Amino acid sequence: MFTKIKEFIDSTNFTNALKAVLSATIPVFTCSYFGDLNAGLTIALGALFTFPSDIPSNLKHKINGLLVTALILFGSNLIINLTHPYPFLLYPVFTILIFILSMLAVYGQRATMVAFSALLTISISFSHTYTGWEMVQHSGYFLIGGLFYSLISILFFYINPHRYTELQIVECTKLTAKYLKLRGALWKIDSDRKEITRKQLLLQVDLNAIHENIREMLVRNRTDYGSSNQNRKLLLSFISLVEIMELAVSTSFDHNKLHLKFDEHPYVLLTYQNLANNLAKNLKSLSKKIRDREAYVPKHNLIENLLEFENAITDYENKLGKTEAAEGVLMLTNMLHYAEKQVEKIKTLERTFKSKTKLKDLKGREKDIEKLIRPSYYPLNTLVENFSFSSLVFRHSMRITFTLLIGLFIGKILPFENVYWILLTIVVIMRPGYGLTKQRTFHRFIGTILGGAIGFAILSTGPSIPILGGLTILFLVFGLTFNPSNYKIGTTFITLHVVFIFAILNPTDDSIILYRILDTLVGAVLAILANYFLWPFWEFLKINENIENSILANSNYLKQITILYNNKKEVNAPYRIARNQAFIQIGNLMASFQRMLQEPKSKQTNIQQLYKLTALNNALLSSVASLGTYSQSHKTTQASESFNIVVDRIIKNLDYSILILNNKESPLDIDTIIDTNLNDSFAELKKIREKEMNHDNVINNEDYKLKMQETQLVIEQLIWLINLSENIIKSSQVLMTSK
């Protein structure tokens, strides 16, 4: 229990909530002391509304973002107050302001959150309007609140500048351990491999997102990689985690074949399963020690586990004899080599947190990460280019503008107590995608009812004002902490906070929660209907593009592997970038498919075929990466002309599938190509390998094993890649035909 509480308090979400609550409560208590509670409450709102835009970044971007947000809050509130007495001005200005602010999302996450903060301010502006000097003063309080929050946030940044990235590394390590644990579960005889694979795909989506976040933080925050041991430590840790994950994805085994082959020798697979599980356990243990900043001592001796598995392979070979055991030993040796590489990478990660990290340890790989980050600038043409219904941001901006306008009309025409709650609900719930909007609507409604019920139960006991004040602050901390991770629980605490605020300000009004539930319901219904009927952007409209991007990224990755296999040179920046892009694009594709599953059944067009293409692309990446991993970690023989012919055919297949998905004609007709050259190439590959293996009159046993391993792995991967690429073509044709 104590560990859970400590973990909760040490979390990034709790720290962020603490910043927001301090920024809100200090002005309230200070202004209340001087007899101006309303000013304190408005300053608190300015601080709380600035809080969403405070996303992780370097100090310069943080300060600029917060200052811009504070100014926009001031301007938005002032504009609404200026135009409110004149409906013929209010509605067009309101419409234009909402639309332009929503369009800022084209500039990325920070701009999206700045726009969100501004929309919250515009919504709350309808709670009470001012005129004359009071109007300027009231808007100024929003500015003061934003500036005060900025000051608190900067102070927290200086107190512990690396903690956020450190905790992200902890989460990444934990998720990677979970992925390796799932791989270990595949070795159980009665395991549900289909379900385990599904869970692995979902984890890859989460890991892809957290990799992007850490990559952004590490590059944006650095001034010089060599200037700080902590910077180097975090960077090397991230590189190691990415490599562990990529190695796991790129190394696949035929579990059905292995279980059939070793049914009579279960001790071999059990020994490997123990090793695979211990890889995950050590990573999980390491994540806890990093979080707690404690000295790390490995739970399991992975080197001993490797020796046990190596001895198990030797015992297996001795029992069956070298000839009969040859194929099995080769399969087990490939598994051993994977485990050895994984242990080596985990050891590198462990050493990173046990000793100082030097600049030379990075080996220049930080430059490759930097190339994956988009530069932070905001050209006007980016905004102009998105003024089209083909833009997801444009559609969402039109939708939320129209919905807020309807909400405002309903609130003005019908006898609603608080029209601004309807607007706030729409802003908070509404998302570009239907699935997420629907989910947030449900969670917000449940949280509001639950929070209201608990609030009434507490108020019925007649608590004193000091107790209500303490609970109000506590519930705000909990609400802001849980909101990012569990929206339903977060909404429950936020509702409790609001109920107690009104209980303190207006203790005689018991109907406030009923109005809140009604306004929440109206806003939620409007958001859901708008996402369904107003310029909807269903995932099936974009998933083809994600499939194309994934195929293209895999093709580029394969091209870089071919260059590496032919030239026998060190891995370079283009190779690493191509590899990273392949993993990023497959993550985007799987995320897109997951979003599609959250949409109405009627909008899940060709769901089975899309799932098949998603699975095929993931398998393609795994096979390509397996070939790449082997090429860079083993001394391979000279690439033959046949090898290049086969690879060229695979790339042509992938190019052709992209053309099919784009409905374009191509001179390449897959049905009329004669496969004689391809078959000859496979035959030639096998002959060349046989010739190479028997080239010397005397070949030592180790060389023979290495060449046999290369023969099996390379040729099997090429055959598998050909099959996958042809299946992608067929699936693409079926998909486009069914539209």
Residue 480: both structure tokens together: 């802001």
- CB–CB of 268/312 below 8 Å? yes
Mean pLDDT of 205-223: 70
For residue 25, pLDDT over 50 is answered with yes
Domain residue ranges in the chain: 1-160, 164-371, 388-537, 539-738
- pLDDT of the residue at 670: 47
> In the predicted model, is pLDDT for residue 418 greater than 80?
no
393 or 693, which is more confident: 393
* Segment 172-184, tens digit of pLDDT: 888 888 888 888 7
105 touches 396 (CB < 8 A): yes
pLDDT of 700 higher than 50: no
Higher confidence at residue 7 or residue 245?
245
Residue 494 has pLDDT above 50, yes or no: yes
The answer on pLDDT for 204 being more than 70 is yes
Q: What pLDDT score does 205 carry? A: 73
Other Cβ atoms closer than 10 A to 246: 19
421 Cβ contact list (under 8 Å, min separation 6): 515, 516, 519, 520, 523
Question: Is 1.20.58 the CATH number for 164-371?
Answer: yes
pLDDT at 224 (0 to 100): 40
pLDDT band, residue 717 (cuts 50/70/90): confident
For residue 693, name the pLDDT band (cuts at 50, 70, 90): very low
Specify the pTM: 0.76
The pLDDT score that the predictor gives to residue 356 is 61
Q: Say what the pLDDT of residue 74 is.
A: 93
Across the chain, mean pLDDT equals 77
pLDDT for residue 164:
77
Look at residue 221 in the predicted model and tell me its pLDDT. Answer: 55
When pLDDT is cut at 50, 70 and 90, the band that residue 377 belongs to is: low
Highest-pLDDT range among 11-15, 133-137, 494-498, 611-615:
133-137
Tell me what pLDDT residue 67 has.
92
**Residue 450 scores a pLDDT above 90:** no
- Ranking 12-16, 255-259, 508-512 by mean pLDDT, the lowest is 508-512
pLDDT at 241 over 80: yes
pLDDT at 359 over 50: no
Structure tokens at 285: 């243990």
- Whether 151 has a pLDDT exceeding 90, the answer reads yes
CA distances from 279 to 196, 303, 352, 562 (A): 18, 11, 17, 31
Alpha carbons 522 and 621: distance in angstroms, whole number: 46
Give me the residue label for tokens 């200090």. 26
Across 709-737, average pLDDT: 76
For 16, other C-beta atoms within 10 Å of its C-beta total 22
CA distance 363 to 359: 8
- Percent of the residues in the chain that have a pLDDT greater than 90, as a whole number: 8
Confidence of residue 695 (pLDDT cuts 50, 70, 90): very low
More reliable by pLDDT, 489 or 711: 489
Share of residues in the chain with pLDDT > 70 (%): 81
Question: Among 331-335, 557-561, 682-686, whose mean pLDDT is lowest?
Answer: 682-686
Q: Can you tell me the mean pLDDT for 8-33?
A: 86
Q: Is 433 helix (H, G, I), strand (E, B) or coil?
A: coil
The per-residue pLDDT for range 77-114, each reduced to its tens digit, is 999 999 988 888 988 999 999 999 998 888 877 888 88
Residue 582, pLDDT above cutoff 80: yes
pLDDT at 143: 93
Reading the block at residue 648, the tokens are: 């060229």
pLDDT of residue 86: 87
Whether residue 697 has pLDDT greater than 50: no
User: Of the CATH numbers 1.20.58, 2.40.10, 1.10.8, 1.10.287, which one belongs to the domain with range 539-738?
Assistant: 1.20.58
Helices (H) and strands (E) in the chain, counts: 28, 0
Taking the C-alpha atoms of residue 384 and residue 380, their distance in angstroms, rounded to an integer, is: 6
DSSP 658-702: HHHHTT---S--TTT--THHHHHHHHHHHHHHHHHHTSSSS--HH
Residue in this structure with the two tokens 């977060």, named with its chain if needed: 490
Q: Which residue has the tokens 């004149």?
A: 86
Which amino acid, 230? Q
pLDDT score for 404: 92
| Other beta carbons less than 10 A from residue 359's beta carbon | 14
Q: Rounded to whole angstroms, what are the CA distances from 467 to 499, 501, 503?
A: 14, 12, 12
pLDDT at 353 over 60: yes
In this structure, what DSSP letter does residue 46 have? H
pLDDT digits (tens, 9 = 90+) for 592-639: 787 777 777 777 777 788 888 888 888 888 778 777 766 665 555 555
Residue reference for tokens 């195929």: 551
Per-residue model confidence (pLDDT) at position 672? 42
658 falls in which pLDDT band (50, 70, 90)?
Answer: confident
- C-alpha closest to that of 117 among 84, 75, 61: 75
| pLDDT at residue number 326 | 72
Give the pLDDT mean for 703-714.
55
Q: Compute CA 63 distance to the chain's CA centroid, rounded to the nearest angstrom.
A: 25
Mean pLDDT value across residues 227-251: 76
Fold: same for 164-371 and 539-738: yes
Q: Give the ranges where 378-464 is alpha helix by DSSP (H).
A: 380-385, 392-413, 419-429, 434-459
Quote the pLDDT of residue 709. Answer: 53
- The DSSP string of 449-511 is HHHHHHHHHHHTT---HHHHHHHHHHHHHHHHHHTTT-HHHHHHHHHHHHHHHHHHH-TT---
